Amino acid sequence: MERKIVHVVGTGTIGEPLIGILCEQKSNLGIDEVTFHKHSPLTVDKPKIDNLMKKGARLSVLEDRVDDFKAIDLEPEFTLEEAIARSSVVIDCTPGGSGLVNKEQYYNKYTDRVKGFLAQGSENGFGKKYARGINDHVISSNDQFLQIVSCNTHNIACLVNTLALSIAKDNLLEGKFVCIRRSNDISQISSYVPAPTVNEHDHETYGTHHAEDAVGLFKTMDLDLDLFSSALKINTQYMHTVWFNIKVKEGTSKEKVLELLNNNVRIALTEHRSSNAVFSFGRDQGQYGRILNQTVVVEDSVNVKNSNEISGFCFTPQDGNSILSSISATVKFLNPHSYQDKINSLSPFFFDRV
């Protein structure tokens, strides 16, 4: 029987915890082996790589850097292309357009061997957009390349899907969102901003890429939605916060909205109004410090105006929701007929309340 091997490219804020979760949960998820790629032989990263290898993940590096890794006492087992060629699924967790570069340079050469390729974030053009719980039903065996949308796009899409489209596919009038983004991850030492810094609107119709990508996600379901987002960074390292304003056709109430939110297993509600309290909960109770829910809605912030305008604040479990979608897509490639049951093994890491 063919071995089911998952190869993760990159060991950053998504790649590192993803590798760890895949190693720890591989028997439940139907995975035989996990390999991973590290680009640069940095001594500062050696403890991280050592611990991933102790969990059972097997290291690949670029062919011309094998000796450099050996020089810092790290023993690669594969070159990058060897690891790709023997994989069932490749998950690219590299930042800033590198996934598209890797697709052209490496992945396209192995489409006859690898079942599926995934890339993270705004890698537009990599493949069909995907978010767990939104468009699973339109992902088929023909979709060999998938783009896992960004964490805030997950959040926006989940809110729209739950509060508007779950009632009727034509129930949404418009949705507006302000993504109040953390400056950087606590693991990162660069890109910190000293004060709130506003993003420009790159798209006249959709504003920032968050709404644009959410619209693209729903277009895979033949839905063309009116969504608009703005974004800014603030000087915190805890969590992204999203303000939402969703107008719907069918009248509703705060009680009905809270019921819809409560009934979605991928949404958590919280009484906390500060992101540090939610972040701390995830650090202490989550899987690798991550909350795998799509969003955490601040219960007391929910408001309904004129029975059809729903507003509120929520926190984005950055990395967590993207990791969930990456695992879901991977398991679907590996086990298309039983992936729902296998994904349910992660249910202990979802929270009804935070």
Cβ-contact 12, 191 below 8 angstroms: no
Distance of alpha carbon 29 from alpha carbon 331, whole angstroms: 6
pLDDT of residue 287: 84
Query: Are residues 198 and 224 located together in one domain of the fold?
Result: yes
At 85-108, the pLDDT tens digits run: 999 999 999 987 888 999 999 999
Q: Does position 121 have pLDDT exceeding 90, yes or no?
A: no
Region of poorest pLDDT, from 28-37, 51-60, 130-139, 179-188: 179-188
Residues 188 and 124 in one domain: no
Residues 261, 156 within the same domain: yes
Q: Which residues contact 103 (CB under 8 A, 6 or more apart)?
A: 92, 117, 119, 126, 145
For the domain that residue 315 is a member of, what is the CATH number? 3.30.360.10
Helix, strand, or coil (residue 121): coil
Question: Based on the domain organization, do 309 and 332 belong to the same domain?
Answer: no
Say whether pLDDT at 155 is over 90. Answer: yes
Q: Tokens 């929270």 label which residue? A: 351
- The answer to whether residues 156 and 107 belong to one domain is no
What percent of the chain clears pLDDT 70, i.e. is strictly above it?
Answer: 100
Same domain, 237 and 250: yes
Q: Does residue 354 lie in a domain region?
A: no
Q: 3-state DSSP call for residue 151?
A: helix
What pLDDT was estimated at residue 65?
95
pLDDT attached to residue 309: 98
Q: What is the DSSP letter of 163?
A: I
Residue 350 domain-assigned? no
pLDDT level of residue 1 (50, 70, 90 thresholds): low
Whole-number Å distance between alpha carbons of 18 and 39: 17
> In angstroms, how far is the first alpha carbon of the chain from the final one?
42
Residue 316, beta-bridge partner list: 240
Q: Are residues 292 and 302 in the same domain?
A: yes
Statement to judge: residues 82 and 222 lie in one domain: no
Residue range of the domain that includes 294 = 151-320
pLDDT digits (tens, 9 = 90+) for 193-216: 899 999 999 999 999 999 999 999
Same domain, 129 and 170: no
pLDDT of 123 strictly over 90? no
Q: Rounded mean pLDDT of 153-159?
A: 97
Closest CA to 159 of 304, 303, 324, 295: 295
Q: CA 56 to CA 7: how far, in whole Å?
A: 13
The answer to the question of residue 352 being in a domain is no
273: number of Cβ within 10 Å: 13
Is the per-residue pLDDT at 289 higher than 80? Answer: yes
**Residue 63: predicted pLDDT:** 93
Shortest CA distance to 289 belongs to which of 4, 13, 6?
13
| Confidence grade of residue 185 (pLDDT, cut at 50, 70, 90) | confident
- Does 227 have pLDDT greater than 90? yes
User: Into how many domains does the chain fold?
Assistant: 2
pLDDT, average across residues 281-287: 89
- Do 111 and 211 belong together in one domain? no
In what side-by-side order are the strands of the sheet with 33-37? 78-79, 58-61, 33-37, 5-9, 89-92, 116-120, 145-148, 128-130
**CATH code, 141:** 3.40.50.720
Model confidence over 293-316: pLDDT tens digits?
Answer: 999 999 999 999 999 999 999 999
Condensed to tens digits (0 to 9), the pLDDT of residues 21-69 reads: 999 999 999 999 999 999 999 999 999 999 999 999 999 999 999 999 9
Regarding whether 170 and 93 lie in a shared domain, the answer is no
Within this chain, do residues 198 and 298 fall inside the same structural domain, yes or no? yes
CB-based burial label for 206 (10 Å; 0-12, 13-18, 19+): buried
Average pLDDT, the chain: 94
Lowest pLDDT segment from 110-114, 189-193, 322-326: 189-193
CA gap 95, 281 in Å, rounded: 27
